[in-house]
Structure 1
Amino acid sequence: MFEQAIEKKREKMIYFAERYGMTSQKTVHCSQELDRLLNVIWHVHTDLQPTKTLEIHTQ
């Protein structure tokens, strides 16, 4: 489910970049939407994982 949404948004972003250029508003906006989607998915995934403790070893 998430993979399809990511792939669809990524393909749309690539299309806009090829057609309008990397810095066009359409491309940038689509890239930002993809970033938001990835962030949501990352947060959902990490919230489902057990809490991990970071250990720092000093010498």
Structure 2
Amino acid sequence: MLEALILERLEPLLHDWIDRNMPPLAERPMREEIRGLVEAARDEPVLANDPDGKIRT
């Protein structure tokens, strides 16, 4: 009974905290991951198709 009451009161507070704080917490790791992927893509050779359909670097 007491646990249910505490959860009932706490849930809206937790949802509010998550809504306010999760975007900034997730943004930096996502930016770092994207930056790493972009840098890795820049280091890869570019593939192009020959007129005869063969892939070359």
- Normalised-by-shorter TM-score class: 0.3 to 0.5
Would you tell me which structure has more strand in proportion to its own residues? Answer: 2
Q: Of the two structures, which has the highest relative contact order with CA contacts closer than 8 Å and spacing of 6 or more?
A: 1
Q: TM-score, normalised by structure 1?
A: 0.44
Q: TM-score, normalised by structure 2?
A: 0.45
Which protein shows a greater Rg? Answer: 2
